[in-house]
Amino acid sequence: MSATGRRAELIRIMRGRKKDTVANLARELAVNEKTIRRDLLTLTVDDGFHIDTMKGKGGGIIFHGHNCPHRKILSQEQIKVLREMVKLGNEHQVNVLNGILDAFA
């Protein structure tokens, strides 16, 4: 299974369960725990899913079932204008604009 397919399956599983453990998901998806942790990181940072992890007894992965509301909210026109502004800005402005694009595009 590809990484994209595995992450889609991970989201499907977690939508149904809401809470599970890394170890259980790794067994179920036939991968190691590090792979599940990397997938969870990608799903939260890159794809904007709201996923919490808790250590210890009673802990695990908690899936809140939605993407973070701030992800992918800029229109194509807004993205285009911000990218044009990046070309004109000083170093600080470029860093701020790129941060906006990373967070909201």
| Range 3-67 has CATH code 1.10.620.20 | no
Global pTM? Answer: 0.60
Contact 100, 82 (CB under 8 A): yes
67 vs 60, more confident: 60
Give span(s): CATH 1.10.10.10, the chain: 3-67
Residue 70 half-sphere exposure, CB side, CA atoms within 13 Å? Answer: 10
pLDDT digits (tens, 9 = 90+) for 88-103: 999 999 988 988 888 7
Determine what percent of the chain is predicted with pLDDT higher than 70.
92
